[in-house]
Amino acid sequence: MEYRRLGKSGLKVSEIALGSWLTYGTVTEKERAIACVKQAYELGINHFDCANVYGAQPHAAEEVMQEALKPYARDSYVITTKAFWPVGDGPNDRGLSRKHIMAQVEKSLKALGVDYIDIFYFHRFDPDTDLEESLRALDDLITQGKVLYGGLSEWPADKIAAGVSLQKELQLHKFAASQPIYNMFERYIEQAVIPICEDAGIGQVVFSPLAQGVLTGKYRKGAQAPEGSRAATPGVNRFLEGRLTEDVLDKVEQLSAIATKAELSLPQLALAWVLRQPNVASALIGASRPEQVVENVKASGITLNEDILHDIEAVLA
């Protein structure tokens, strides 16, 4: 496993990170979830991602992560979580108010069984809270030692720029991480997000690098989704709805041929492709089985040559 610096921070994270959305604390049984996390740690993954809303109920995925990481020294891994999405029906059960952020960090610390969170993300931009209020709350958490680094997830580029400039003006701790979607089919961050973040010293931790499993080649034109896969699992299959189109599956077939030519598996090609961007610190995968972790970590350290990159662009064009 190779490690990269997260933006201009001093934090080193594994090129492959493991997340818990739609898996741990919900459809993936606990023993298997723990086996995935252990497999990841043992193969050098030091970066694990949660959110307060992941799992069947708030903080459920964090509790599974606590159990899985218990055997390992706290300072040997990076654990992250987030707040923004609703965790209840109350008016303050969502968003980025100081009140909600502080309450959720306390609950996440407890669920994760840790004294500090390595990276705490604002899960989305909150138009209903003054940006300064959220940034000051994050700064206080960092000063208190409950959070080490701040991050944002899927903020529009102009909001990232506004946050960065306000942190500078108010002399607050700077964001270290941005967590957007990024894969061969979803590449909007190449336009403005990456340039702004590079400038501000923020590193990318990119989610769904395998397009939720579509870029593994296991979904095929005219075939049923494989048993046990996300597309075949009630409760989570809705997140793939409308994504397995003929056009996408045609492209996946062509990308599989490129992977074969490069002597790689398709997931390895897809992960090496997002990691070709120097601003990307980690490709944040999900895994429902330990074997998937074993397969995916092999993408670390692979450099795709110009011919392969050109062939990929021709398919995606």
Phi first, then psi, for residue 81 (nearest 5°) are -150, 180
Please confirm, yes or no, whether 149 is among the known catalytic residues: no
By CB under 6 A, name the binding residues for ligand NDP.
19-23, 49, 153-154, 179, 207-213, 216, 218, 229-230, 267, 284-288, 292, 295-296
Distance CA 189, CA 218 (A): 26
Q: Judged by CB, which is closer to ligand NDP: 287, or 312? A: 287
Calpha distance 159→209 (Å, rounded)? 23
Residue closer to ligand NDP (CB basis): 169 or 227: 227
Rounded least distance, CB 313 to ligand NDP, Å: 20
Q: Please pick, among 3, 24, 41, 54, the residue that the annotation labels catalytic.
A: 54
Pairing of strands 3-5, 12-14: antiparallel
Measure Cα distances from 234 to 50, 193, 243, 316 in Å.
Answer: 22, 34, 16, 30
Q: Which is nearer to ligand NDP, 15 or 295 (CB)?
A: 295
* Least distance between ligand NDP and beta carbon 114 (Å): 17
Q: Is the dihedral of CA 198, 208, 24, 77 positive or negative?
A: negative
Question: Which residue from 57, 59, 128, 56 is spatially nearest to 98, judged by alpha carbons?
Answer: 128
For the annotated catalytic residues, the residue numbers are 54
